[in-house]
Structure 1
Amino acid sequence: MTGASSACQQSGCLTCSDYNGWLSCRPRFFMHLERIGMKQIGVCMTSCPPGFHGNRSPERSTCTKCRSECDSCFTKNFCTRCRTGFYLHLGKCQESCPDGMVHSDAQRECVPGCPAECESCVNSESCTRCRPGLYQLSGRCYHVCPDDYEPNDELMECTPQVHCEVGEWSEWSPCSKSGRTCGFKRGQETRTRQVLQYPSPFGKPCPDISEIKECLVKRRKCPGGRRKTERNGRRSRNNRKDKESQE
């Protein structure tokens, strides 16, 4: 059956067929042929699907397939976006870019070559090697590394700064003097902490890892101190007696 049924008109169709679908479209609609198995069915659309461009004419407006390397196009010979693996340049999709230009995988386009600070690059946004004297970080080249990064002259890269990290303080030691804890009134107590992470050359240095403070103790004699004094006294008296007898 061929005619202008209400179903046709609601879909932008002017005339249609039970077998071939839409045969003609209303003004401002495009005729697009969709393949279903071994036959093609006409469909009326306000705009052509991806991979096709519209050809308008007073008699019939149709959708025409873009070139195989194009994702979308303005005309058959003027691409506006390329398929993966091709790069757009002056309306054409190419597998490689002309001299002085590099490809952008994100845009699928040929873009201006390496930035001035790059010696080599993947594309205009990502350097793989910087010019002498510059440091590389995430595809960019720097005269001075950004905050929280420091220059690595061996790799010529900006590397993250590493700051010193220390553990908790130990308990204060017993009050002592010259290694003894008795026989004095004033002494010192000490405490320490461990370095958990040593800093990089430009990182924050380590704080003090030991502290000393003065302390007072109740003065007491060391154990055995009195007997030792008595022995020393007897030894001194015996020495004097021996000396006198020799005279």
Structure 2
Amino acid sequence: MDYTSSHSSSRHRHHKHHTNGGIGCQQGGCLTCSDYNGCLSCKPRFFMHLERNGMKQIGVCMTSCPPGFYDIRSPERNTCTKCRSECDSCFNKNFCTRCRPGYYLHLGKCLETCPDGLMPSDLQRECVNRCPEGCETCVNTGLCTRCRPGLYQLQGRCHHVCPEDYEPNDKLMECTPQVHCEVGEWSEWSPCSRSGRTCGFRRGQETRTRLVLQYPSPFGRPCPEISDIKECLVKRKKCEGRGKNERKDRRNRNNRRDKSSQEVLRDRKRERDKNPAERNNSDNRNKTEHRRRRDQHSETVQPEDSVLGHHD
């Protein structure tokens, strides 16, 4: 019979046997026992299990067998039998339910290497199917740790196209949650204005704005308009100091225009001085223009004299 170690010890052997109720049978489940060997037989539905302490075996009656043992029932006695050495737990001698480290369970057997088409799982201590489609490395069939090139990982799976509400991250090669734009409340409407002024007009514009609280990710919903404009009407009023400023602006414009005309005349004069032929042509053109204007003036004055003579 197989056994396990026990920390209980006895310095003296006692070969005296006891029936139920004896001094050595105080442990529950014992039917007969020995002061030296413990339980020798068990009550019905209990399993005899031997624990070893040095060179001595101690019988213990248990309701179920401990890990690493399986139970055998018979009309004579129920016993606990040790599993195979590579089994951590078993159903019977030929069927393991969990393997010891370094072995992998497959069809009730504990194997050092898995059959073709399967891969070992150190976490489960089992031979499992190969990684899911598109997966390069995985913990088991349902948890991928790295996808093949061009695929995006999400929750242990590999995707050609990310699911809804997710977007591809080409840097991490993962599907990350989409981030949508969020904006705050509208501000109050600004005073009615036109070209930066708030007076001297009847029709103008009012504006309002709102802040962006969360900018979107590349594939998230974009931000709506953050500024708004509407037409407005105001009672026309004069701007204080506006007439004085307008006269000053008019003088400045006239001065600039006069200065520009003088510069043009100076430039023309310099060109004529450089080219005598051009100067002569310019003088002739000026004389011709002067005669033409004089003749036009004479023609205009002559009919008026005629009309005056008729009335006289």
Q: TM-score, normalised by structure 1?
A: 0.78
Distance 2:124 2:68 in 1: 17
Structure 1 match to 2:92: 75
Deviations 1:167-219 (A, max 9, x none): 34333322211111111122112122232332223211111111112223332
Q: CA deviation at 1:9?
A: 9.5
Structure 2 match to 1:151: 168
Alignment equivalent of 1:13, drawn from 10, 14, 30 = 30
Letter in 2 for 1:24: S
Larger deviation, residues 179-188 vs 35-44: 35-44
Alignment equivalent of 1:90, drawn from 107, 121, 125 = 107
Distance 1:106 1:175 in 2: 72
Distance 1:232 1:144 in 2: 65
RMSD (CA atoms):
3.2
Distance 1:128 1:26 in 2: 53
Letter in 2 for 1:223: E
User: Where does the alignment leave 5 or more consecutive residues of structure 1 unmatched?
Assistant: 236-247
Distance 2:53 2:27 in 1: 22
Residues 119-158 of structure 1: matches in 2 within 5 Å? 119-130=136-147, 134-153=151-170, 155-158=172-175
Letter in 1 for 2:33: C
Residue 184 (str. 1) matches residue 201 (str. 2): yes
Structure with the higher fraction of residues in helix conformation: 2
Structure with the higher fraction of residues in strand conformation: 1
Structure 2 match to 1:42: 59
Distance 1:218 1:171 in 2: 21
Letter in 1 for 2:19: A
Contact 1:69 1:82 in 2 (8 A): yes
Distance 1:207 1:55, change over 3 A: same
Distance 1:213 1:59, change over 3 A: same
Residues 47-66 of structure 1: matches in 2 within 5 Å? 47-66=64-83
Q: CA deviation at 1:36?
A: 5.8
Contact 1:102 1:124 in 2 (8 A): no
Contact 1:173 1:189 in 2 (8 A): yes
Structure 1 match to 2:306: none
Q: CA deviation at 1:38?
A: 7.2
Letter in 1 for 2:125: R
Distance 1:60 1:195, change over 3 A: same
Structure 2 match to 1:175: 192
Letter in 1 for 2:32: T
User: Where does the alignment leave 5 or more consecutive residues of structure 2 unmatched?
Assistant: 1-15, 253-312
Residue 212 (str. 1) matches residue 229 (str. 2): yes
Letter in 2 for 1:93: C
Distance 1:63 1:229 in 2: 113
Q: Secondary structure at the match of 2:81?
A: strand
Distance 1:147 1:224, change over 3 A: same
Contact 1:102 1:122 in 2 (8 A): no
Aligned residues: 235
Letter in 1 for 2:138: C
Larger deviation, residues 153-162 vs 137-146: 153-162
Q: Secondary structure at the match of 1:74?
A: strand
Contact 1:86 1:93 in 2 (8 A): yes
Structure 2 match to 1:3: 18
Distance 1:232 1:11 in 2: 116
Q: CA deviation at 1:30?
A: 1.4
Q: Identity percentage over the alignment?
A: 77
Distance 2:245 2:86 in 1: 104
Distance 2:112 2:191 in 1: 78
Distance 2:235 2:213 in 1: 37
Greater C-alpha radius of gyration? 2
Distance 1:180 1:227 in 2: 16
Distance 2:69 2:249 in 1: 114
Structure 2 match to 1:196: 213
